[in-house]
Amino acid sequence: MNVASLLATLGQWAPLLVLVVPLALAGLLAFPRLVGAVGRLAPWAMLPALLAGLLAPQTELLLPELLLGSSLMIDPIGRPFLLLLGLLWLVAGWLAGERLRRRGPVLLFLLAMTGSLGLVVAGNLVVFLLASTVSGYALYGLAARQSGARAFVVLLVLSDLLLFELLLLLVKSGIGLSLAPAVAPSAAIGGSLALLVLSVLGFGAKAAVFGLHLWLPRMLSGRAVELLPILIGFVLAAGLLPWLRLLAPGALSGDAATLLSWMALTSMGLAVILGMLQGGQQALLGYAISALSGFWLLLLSVSGGELGALMPVAETEARALAMALALCQAGLALAALLVQGARRWARQSWLDWMLNGFAVLLFADALLGMAGVLAFDRENGFMIAACGLFGGLMGQLLCARHGTETLQVIGPSRPLSLSLLAAGWALLMAGGAMIAPSGWPLAASLSAPVSAPLAALALIGVTTLSALLALARPARA
Amino acid sequence: MPMLLNGADWATALVFVPLLAALACFLVPRAADWLGVLAALLILLATLGLVQDLLSDGPLRVAVGGWGAPLGIDLWADGLSAALLLMTALVGLGVSVYAPGYFAAHPQQQRWFWPLWLLLWTALNGLYLSADLFNLYVMLEVLGLSAAALTALSGSATGLNAAMRYLLVSLLGSAAYLLGVALLYHGYGTVDIALLGQRIEAGAVATTALLVMAAGLLLKTALLPFHFWLPPAHGSAPAPVSALLSALVIKASFYLLLRLWLDLFSGLGGLLAALLPELLGLLGAAAVLWGSVQALRQRRLKLLIAYSTVAQIGYLFLGFPLAGVQAEEVAWRAVLYLALAHGLAKAAMFLSAGNLLQFAGHDRIADLDRAVQRLPLTLTAFVLGGISIMGLPPSGGFVGKWLLLESAFTQGRWGFAIVVLLGGVLAAGYVFKVVGYAFTPTEIAQEGEAVPLRMQWSALLLAFGAILLGFSAPWLWPLLGVGDPFGLPIAEVGAAR
Amino acid sequence: MIPAIDAALPPNAWLPLLVLASSLLPGLVIFFLAEQRYWTRTLLNLAGSLVKLLLVGAMLWGVFHQQQYAASLPLLPGLDLVLRVRPLSLLFLSLSAGLWLLTTLYAIGYLEDSPNRSRFFGFFSLCVTATVGVAMAGNLLTFLIFFELLTLTTYPLVVHRGTEEARRAGQIYLAHTVIAGALLLAGTVWLYTLAGTLTFTTQGFVADLVERHRWSLIAIFVLLIIGVGVKAALVPLQSWLPRAMVAPAPVSALLHAVAVVKAGAFGIVLIVYDVFGVEVAAELGVTKPLALVAAFTILYGSVRALFQDNLKRRLAFSTVSQVSYIVLGVAIVGPLATVGGLVHLVHQGVMKITLFFCAGNLAETLGIHKVSEMNGVGRRMPWTMLAFSIGVFGMIGLPPVAGFISKWYLGLGGLEAGLHWPLFVLAGSSLLNAAYFLPILHRAWFCEPPEAWPEERDFGGNKETAWLLLLPPLVTAALSLLIGLFASMPFTPLEWARLIAEREFYQP
């Protein structure tokens, strides 16, 4: 057996290896003597994932004996996620440091890692559900003492129920559960309202879409630093990735797409506004993530709208979109990391500076990715508004990186004024829906002339506000 | 294996062995214990021989002393009598093994127990084997007297009182029966059942005879509302005696009633023959319910078991309406199964109660105080007996109830089916009431006296018998059919010819 | 008396009898063993259960390869006591044989140094004998007989403690089961008088009677279902079950997971499929009410469980709810729902027995009986609580634990039958399950432990509890994980349930 065939075999089994390594480490915890060693190794359990993301060929591994017939895969969409998650887990392990020397936390850590990697390599929805359960409940275990944990577990249970129903309905309607790009059930989901609602809400709870976001800011505000990258990874893999797979570009069309983009924009706006209201950086970050999820949903729905129907999205473009989204997320996640990292390394100024520089680079990268998205569909008012909103939020986040722990500017009256702003945003959006012609070609009326001014208005409003807030912030004490 | 003795010898032995043993025990009281057990073993052997003979050669008729009917004494055995003989032999053996242990504490009672009991056994066997009405009367009378005397053995005031009442009832019943015999003899000139069966015809004589004989036998069988004498008598007698009275004595008068009905009266036709079974069935149903409820209310173990007997007798009478005026085998077989199962099970229960009584010195149900731990064999016997009484599978009682329900459902007699089921549920209630208290300790732990193993095992084996009866169909079913006891009445067969 | 075996039967008639004997004989011998003969008793128990497991394994293999196993003993002319091993029997048989071994181990550890062990283990073995008898019943009469035997043999186990509370619980248990038994008997006899046979047949044996005896058949169905429904704890016949919790933990485990409740559910399966035949039952219009009763029971049990502080009572109400999944699967007419119901028979057993073992461990080791006392217990007894957690996830129906598979098939079966309400029932039940189980996990793992436990026992060293108490729940937890994760392998419960549905209930 030569090296090439060995490598080929390895590549074929790569998706399983990604999962088996952390799981095996977790298994070693049964021996109390090994706990210390496992704790030290735990952050590195993501290495196979990283390697697989970089090197493994595109592959699908069928495991018909597992559950109700399973498959694992590494595909172009999953690859960047695999890389990103690998990095996030590495950082999380690093941040957790000494906390991984005890049996309980390290077990949960490894399980959550296995689960979230499983979310990426899942080849069908049953495996996906399994991975999301494992990572979700392990994450709950890690964060159980944080304030948002209860909200998280409630949403987790509800979301799993919705997904369960979604899966059943998919099987019932003969679509099947495979997530492989060739047979992804996206078209069917786009065609049925029930399936669409189930998938938007079911994954939305994990993606912390505004309205189902309650757990995220609170959990981020806790003291456990390592939760940040983990939660970001969870949102990414359990919420956004399945959307990307199931609501693939071109899947949604017509009224459903328009309605969805409208809702996504609304929720995103609310998330941005409320995010700016937040006192703490971590809470702000939470809202930023929520807004990002809205953004993501918006992109997906827009790409399949009127324009998508006119101009069928080619495979390469879809892939480009995916890459762009992933990059956005990467920028956000690492920026968030750095925000949080300051607390730890504030004294080591050279490191601090280096990280700052890195953060700026990543931010630029994220903006570039966004520009790519814009280029993809620059005629769309939704898109412009969303990009604007998102840019504002990112700026806010980076400013917060240099700011103090709380935003003091508006003082006690802050809730009032910003609530007004939020209400204004909601009214604006509702107004947009109202002035649309009463017949239901809402798509046409919203996507072009009517919404462009609205979006521009929103863009201007929000950027101004965020700039104001950023400038008015008192200097570091 | 060629048998050394034939069926006729076995049948004769069944009457004479207990009689001679009774005499011997009376004369040599010191050897009574082992004499009694020996006699019991011999009787069982004889019964088995008879059963074997019946199964191979069919029904048996022996003219004792060589004179045939209508002059001499004829012995007659078919499936019905053989089954009851077998049950008597088994219960008798159990009680005979048990009694020495029990009476070790009461020597003056033992002095009288053996002769009286063996005399009683003679009467029972004779009754099951007699082929003519007068012999039956004699046996019935001997049975009643010896039973009343046995009841009085305990010597307590309540015991004597109950025995006296029992004696009077018994005499009254026998007298009524004798009146019926006289009427029939006057009317048809014979007391031989087979001959009478051919000669009897509907009319005032037959009707009156049926009425008085049935009344007398019902009184002795203690069917509701004639049950009043039974609980005190059975409740106050010594335990082995209670077992005998409940398991055997009552069955004898029931057997007689059944025999008369099957062979003489059921084919008569007419209003009475149609109404009487219904009436008996209703009384039986009432007895099942009333007896069970009363049993549930009792606080003394022996009284509870005695009331349970009242209820169980009721079941036996459900066969009359279900069999109807036409012969329907299933219902009668059900009744036979129930009678046999009741005999074995009730004997086991009374013997267990005797053990508990001897152990604790009382039979208050609420103060059984962990009897399960301390007398496990006894309690097992009680429960196994109880299972058969409840009609839970697998037991003789279950098979009986199954058959009874089957005939009730086939004929659409829902009421009787419900009574059968309800009776089972109530029986479970009173049996497990006892068992429940046997698991729980009382506040003041009670000291118990040792109970000899032979007493425990005899009860247990009897209970096992009641359970195994449920599996006995392969040979019991053909045995019950020997001589076609439930077939068409002889009178009708005669008319058909 | 020696059971009369028909000489004409093929030699594999002995296997069913040996399965019965492998627990009956040790049980009878154990009754007569002195209290202190620990090793003899243990040896007998374990030998019996191992032999049974092996025999069942052999039959599993044989039936898979289309072998026949049957034995009969004449009981009445025309009615035999028939033991017949079919795929369906084996599903229940392997569950009870496997869990019996574990429960025996557990009980040996649990009852160490407590009084009356010989009596306990004697009845314990008899109880399993009755259960395997129920599993192998070849006709309704045999089923009835073993079903009643089960009542009788579990009663002494329920009242084993001998307290006044136990006595009352026993009386209530009996009151329910005996009345139910009477109804079952009535239904059986009635059916016999109409049909003239009671032999379980794959598509039922009453199809010819529907025309003439429609209402009688419906009445019989109701009688039979009530008769077995009491043991299956269908609302409103469930009230004995939570009370029976006074029994020792191995008994509760046995009652809930293997024997009594399962026998009831199994009975419903038999009645619907092998007595009436599912198509006939559907035509008679009796399956829909049954499904509604099951649905109501599922929700009712869950809601009641929410408000119990006593851990075992909470588990008991959870059983009420979970067992009706089986009934629901049976009553939604369709192959997929059938598979779901059947497979839940095994899955619920394995998962629920884990929970009861763990509850027993908590009570025995730390004296914890209430949910409110469970703060931080995960740190003191991590392995026990790990097993408990797996059981809980299974109960909620999360993958990859076995409960997910059952729920999946039930939901799919409902959709297949064109019904959407089972989905809502399942979702509601999962939600409620999460609501009453997850807080327990939160307490156990993430709350601060108290200064001292209510009643702590020391097992020496750093052990969290005796290994005989720890091993069984770990095994069952691992098992419920594995049969869920590898559900599509050959010889898993799921595959076996599919085989049953194909071979027996939905023959082309």
C403: contact with B, CB 8 A cutoff:
no
pLDDT at B489: 47
The type of residue at A44 is W
Q: Is the pLDDT of residue C218 over 90?
A: yes
Residue A36, class by beta-carbon neighbours within 10 Å (0-12 exposed, 13-18 middle, 19+ buried)?
middle
Q: Is B3 left (phi over 0), alpha (psi -120 to 50) or beta?
A: beta
Mean pLDDT across chain A, nearest whole number? 71
Per-residue pLDDT band for A25 (boundaries 50, 70, 90) equals very high
Least Cα separation, residue B394 to chain C (angstroms): 6
Between the alpha carbon of residue A44 and those of residues A23, A89, A138, A355, the distances in Å are 12, 8, 18, 22
Contact between B212 and B183 (Cβ < 8 Å): yes
Looking at the complex, report in whole angstroms how far the Cα of residue C232 sits from the nearest Cα belonging to chain A. Answer: 27
Task: Report strand pairing: C69-76 vs C79-85.
Answer: antiparallel
Q: Which band of pLDDT confidence, cut at 50, 70 and 90, is reported for residue A108?
A: very high
Q: How confident is the model at residue A410 (pLDDT cuts 50, 70, 90)?
A: very low
Q: What is the tens place of the pLDDT at every residue in C87-106?
A: 899 999 999 999 999 999 99
pLDDT for A145 equals 83
pLDDT confidence of residue A276: 67
The per-residue pLDDT for A247 is: 74
Q: Does C163 touch chain B if contact means CB atoms closer than 8 Å? A: yes
Confidence of residue C371 (pLDDT cuts 50, 70, 90): very high
Query: How large is the average pLDDT for residues A336-344?
Result: 48
Least confident window among A335-339, B170-174, C215-219, C274-278: A335-339
pLDDT band at A241 (very low <50, low <70, confident <90, very high): confident
Q: Please give the pLDDT value at position A400.
A: 53
Residue A380 has pLDDT above 70, yes or no: no
Compute the half-sphere exposure of residue B335: CA atoms within 13 Å on the CB side of its CA.
Answer: 27
Q: Count CB-CB contacts under 10 A for residue A101.
A: 15
Could you state, in order of their start, the residue ranges of all structural domains in chain A? Answer: 1-248, 252-477
Q: Which of residues 167-196 of C touch B (CB under 8 A)?
A: 167, 170-171, 174-175, 178-179, 181-183, 185-186, 189-190, 192-193
* DSSP code at position A474: P
CB-CB contact of B397 with B466 (8 Å)? yes
Average pLDDT over chain B reads 88
If one counts every other C-beta atom within 10 angstroms of the C-beta of residue C101, the result is 20
C115 CA: distance to closest CA in chain A (Å): 36
- For chain C, the maximum distance between any two Cα atoms, rounded to a whole number of angstroms, is 72
Cβ-defined contact of B394 to C145 (cutoff 8 Å): yes
Alpha carbons B479 and B461: distance in angstroms, whole number: 22
Q: What is the dihedral of CA B374, B377, B383, B384, to 10 degrees?
A: 170
Instruction: Read off the pLDDT band of C305 (50, 70, 90).
Output: very high
Average pLDDT score over residue span B223-228: 88
The confidence score (pLDDT) of residue B372 equals: 81
Confidence of residue A414 (pLDDT cuts 50, 70, 90): very low
Which residues from chain C sit within 8 angstroms of residue B403, using beta carbons? 76
Please tell me the predicted confidence (pLDDT) of residue B172: 94
Are C185 and B387 in contact (CB < 8 Å)? no
C390-C396-C398-C402 Cα dihedral, nearest 10 degrees: 60
> A272 Cβ partners below 8 Å, 6+ apart?
A287, A291, A389, A390, A392, A393, A462
Q: Which residues of chain C have a CB within 8 Å of the CB of A130?
A: 399-400
For residues C245 and C291, the model is more confident at C291
B477/C163 touch (CB, cutoff 8 Å), yes or no: no
Q: What is the mean pLDDT of residues B288-312?
A: 94
pTM: 0.89
pLDDT at A454 over 80: no
Question: How much is the pLDDT for A446?
Answer: 41
- Least confident span in A181-190, A374-383, B181-190, C439-448: A374-383
Does residue B417 belong to the interface with chain C, where contact is any CB pair within 8 Å? yes
Q: Give yes or no for residue A406 having a pLDDT over 50.
A: no
pLDDT at C26: 92
pLDDT at residue B210 tops 50: yes
Provide the terminal-to-terminal Cα distance of chain B, rounded to the nearest Å. 39
Give Cα separations from A34 to A46, A103, B106, B284 (angstroms): 19, 9, 77, 78
Task: Give which of C339, C381, C392, C438 to mutate to test A binding, by max A Cβ within 10 Å.
Answer: C438
> Tell me, what's the pLDDT at A243?
83
What ipTM is given for this predicted complex? 0.91
Mutate to test the interface with B, among C31, C75, C79 (most CBs of B within 10 A): C75
CA–chain centroid gap for A154, Å, is 19
> pLDDT tens digit string along A32-89?
888 889 988 998 998 999 888 888 888 888 888 888 888 898 887 788 788 878 888 8
pLDDT > 90: percent of chain B: 55
Whose tokens are 């309202």? That residue is: A193
The pLDDT of residue C28 is above 70 = yes
Q: Could you state, in order of their start, the residue ranges of all structural domains in chain B?
A: 290-481
CB-based contact, C443 to chain B, within 8 Å = no
Residue B351 has pLDDT above 90, yes or no: yes
Q: Please tell me if residue C478 touches chain A, with a CB cutoff of 8 Å.
A: no
If you average pLDDT over residues A322-346, what whole number do you get?
51
Residue A356 confidence (pLDDT): 58
pLDDT of res. A417:
52
Q: Where are the domains positioned within chain C?
A: 286-508
The verdict on B440 touching C (C-beta cutoff 8 Å) is yes
Q: Assess C408–A contact: CB distance below 8 Å, yes or no.
A: yes
Instruction: Read off the pLDDT of each residue in C166-195 and give the average, rounded to a whole number.
Output: 93
Total residue length of chain A: 477
Q: Where is average pLDDT lowest: A315-324, B194-203, B239-248, B347-356?
A: A315-324
The mean per-residue pLDDT over the stretch B273-288 comes to 91
**Range from A390-399, C436-445, C497-506 carrying the lowest mean pLDDT:** A390-399
C346 within 8 A of C89, measured Cβ to Cβ: no
pLDDT, average across residues A301-317? 47
Quick check: do C and A touch, 3+ CB pairs under 8 A?
Answer: yes
Question: What is the per-residue pLDDT for C402?
Answer: 93
- Beta-sheet pairing, C79-85 with B60-64: unpaired
Give the residue-averaged pLDDT of C301-323. Answer: 93
Q: Residue A477 — very low, low, confident or very high, per pLDDT cuts 50/70/90?
A: very low
Residue B18 has pLDDT above 80, yes or no: yes
**Residue A263: band (very low, low, confident or very high) from pLDDT cuts 50, 70, 90:** confident
Mean pLDDT of B450-454: 86
Chain A residues touching C408 at Cβ < 8 A: 68, 164, 168
Least confident stretch, A239-253, B158-172, B335-349 = A239-253
Q: Which residues contact C321 (CB under 8 A, 6 or more apart)?
A: C297, C298, C299, C300, C301, C302, C305, C429, C432, C433
Q: Provide the pLDDT confidence category of residue B381 given band limits of 50, 70 and 90.
A: very high
Residue C477, pLDDT score: 96
A vs C, Cβ pairs < 8 A, gives 71
pLDDT at A470 over 60: no
Average pLDDT over residues A132-161: 90
Tell me the pLDDT of chain C averaged across its residues. 89
Tokens coding B404: 């009874």
pLDDT at site C11: 52
**Per-residue pLDDT for A439 more than 50?**
no
Is a pLDDT exceeding 60 seen at residue A305? no
> At which residue do the structure tokens 């374990």 appear?
C46
Average pLDDT over residues C187-210: 90
Kindly determine whether residue A168 and residue C412, on different chains, have CB atoms separated by under 8 Å.
Answer: yes
- pLDDT over 70, % of chain A: 57
Q: How far is CA A178 from the centre of its chain?
A: 21
pLDDT band at A251 (very low <50, low <70, confident <90, very high): low
